[in-house]
């Protein structure tokens, strides 16, 4: 079943129909950039997940309802529905109760449905999966009535969000205080310190309200006053690595292939953003904010992929791309134009200058990873083959 261009107000009708049919499987919702998954077992909801911060949401809800939960990601066979499987693990080991498990499911679903409420158009795709069951703990589900209550609560929060007039801010964003003369002229040092501690650019609005056990709308409305004055800004931050990703990182630390990726951008923000996304995946990042000096030093490190911004104070991005491409050391190196100046003409000029690909700012973490993996996947495979061969030869001796 595939339904395209459906408004959020019709999503409940689809969920109600799945409950009525006692369906088992998952409903995939997407807006072209993000995906969410809602899992059902015999018409009852198991879990709702996906979106920008799947792992952040997991740790946040765990801290809200059962901070002591310890789980073993080694027992997970796949990433499919890993949050629910870890809850089952906690129940089987009597670390948490059914009540706590359902509270986690409700909290996660509440955030997911709030995110969905802000979408004007969604594509829906239902995939049946008869092997998807909750035999161990049949009560670890939300009934149709409980699901409806969560959806209605999320919808009320979204309506309140709109009424307050904060539609240009999203709870997945992280607020940070802008250090400026304007800030110091309006607030005392003590007030600035309080704001800086609370809004440090590392925690999303969901994170902040969960830690303080406050209302999301009220906290955001308080912050919005400073936002409108230009004293606070919000920024996108990447998700945390999932438990399975953390295991893979631990494995990579002993079988390490760490390609170097260079980021040539006059602002530090872009390099830090790429670093947050790519370092947990095993990549090294060389941040170059001064191309005039940095490019010469970069040649000694021989990066395997390069991101270049188009607009920089002293260097034209097209000219720099063309210069790098003509150098023998970079003839085969993937060069990605990463810029906010995205249009057909700029893309064409980028390709003529020797760019391999073109990525529009701000790209999602998923899109950045997909781009990097696309061009470095073959090199990783070559490294793994060589590494396995070396290990085999060592054992043969």
Domain that holds residue 311: 255-396
pLDDT tens digit sequence for 334-364: 999 998 887 888 888 888 889 999 988 888 8
Q: How many H-runs (helices) and E-runs (strands) does the chain carry?
A: 15, 12
pLDDT tens digit sequence for 269-312: 888 888 888 887 778 888 888 888 888 888 888 899 999 998 88
- Among residues 144, 163, 182, the one where a domain terminates is 163
Same domain (yes/no): 265, 229: no
The number of beta carbons lying within 10 Å of the beta carbon of residue 152 is 12
For residue 52, what are the contacts with CB-CB under 8 A and spacing of at least 6?
34, 115, 172, 239, 364, 365
**This prediction's pTM:** 0.63
168 found inside a domain: no
If you average pLDDT over every residue of the chain, what do you get? 82
Same domain (yes/no): 156, 186: no
- Among residues 202, 235, 268, the one where a domain terminates is 235
SS3 assignment, position 9: helix
207 found inside a domain: yes
Percentage of residues of the chain with pLDDT beyond 70: 86
> CATH no. for residue 206?
1.10.10
State how many domains the chain has: 3
Measured between alpha carbons, how far is 39 from 245 in angstroms, rounded to an integer? Answer: 22
Same domain (yes/no): 104, 202: no
Same domain (yes/no): 84, 225: no
pLDDT tens digit sequence for 6-61: 556 678 888 889 999 999 999 999 888 889 999 999 889 999 999 989 999 999 99
> CATH no. for residue 350?
3.40.50.2300
φ/ψ of residue 200, rounded to 5: -110, 5
pLDDT tens digit sequence for 55-102: 999 999 999 898 888 888 777 767 788 999 899 888 888 898 999 999
């Amino acid at each position: 079943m595939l339904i395209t261009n459906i408004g959020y107000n019709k999503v409940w009708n689809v969920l109600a129909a799945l409950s009525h049919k006692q369906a088992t499987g998952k409903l995939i919702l997407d807006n072209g950039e993000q995906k969410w998954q809602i899992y059902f077992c015999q018409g009852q909801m198991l879990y709702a997940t996906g979106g920008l911060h799947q792992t952040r949401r997991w740790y946040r809800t765990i801290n809200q309802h059962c901070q002591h939960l310890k789980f073993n990601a080694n027992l997970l066979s796949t990433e499919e529905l890993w949050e629910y499987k870890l809850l089952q693990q906690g129940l089987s080991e009597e670390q948490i109760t059914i009540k706590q498990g359902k509270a986690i499911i409700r909290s996660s679903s509440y955030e997911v449905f709030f995110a969905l409420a802000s979408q004007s158009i969604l594509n829906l795709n239902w995939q049946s999966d008869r092997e998807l069951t909750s035999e161990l703990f049949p009560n670890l589900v939300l009934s149709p009535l409980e699901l409806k209550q969560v959806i209605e609560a999320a919808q009320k929060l979204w309506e309140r969000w709109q009424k307050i007039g904060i539609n240009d801010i999203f709870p997945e964003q992280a607020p940070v205080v802008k250090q400026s003369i304007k800030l110091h002229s309006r607030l005392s040092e003590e007030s600035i310190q309080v704001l800086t501690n609370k809004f440090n650019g590392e925690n999303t609005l969901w994170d902040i309200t969960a830690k303080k056990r406050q209302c999301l709308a009220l906290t955001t409305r308080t912050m919005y006053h400073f936002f409108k004055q230009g004293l606070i800004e919000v920024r996108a931050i990447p998700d945390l690595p999932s438990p399975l990703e953390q295991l893979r990182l631990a494995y990579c630390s002993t079988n390490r292939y760490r390609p170097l990726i260079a980021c040539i951008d006059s602002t530090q923000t872009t390099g830090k953003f790429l670093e947050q996304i790519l370092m947990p995946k095993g990549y090294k990042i060389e941040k170059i904010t001064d191309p005039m000096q940095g490019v010469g030093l970069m040649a000694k490190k021989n990066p395997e992929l390069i991101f270049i911004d188009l607009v920089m104070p002293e260097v034209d991005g097209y000219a720099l791309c063309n210069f790098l491409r003509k150098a023998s050391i970079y003839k085969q190196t993937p060069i990605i134009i990463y810029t906010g100046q995205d249009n057909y003409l700029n893309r064409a000029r980028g390709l003529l200058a020797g760019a391999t690909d073109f990525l529009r700012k701000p790209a999602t973490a998923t899109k950045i990873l997909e781009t990097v993996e696309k061009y470095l996947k073959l090199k990783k495979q070559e490294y793994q083959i060589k590494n396995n061969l070396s290990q085999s030869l060592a054992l043969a001796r």
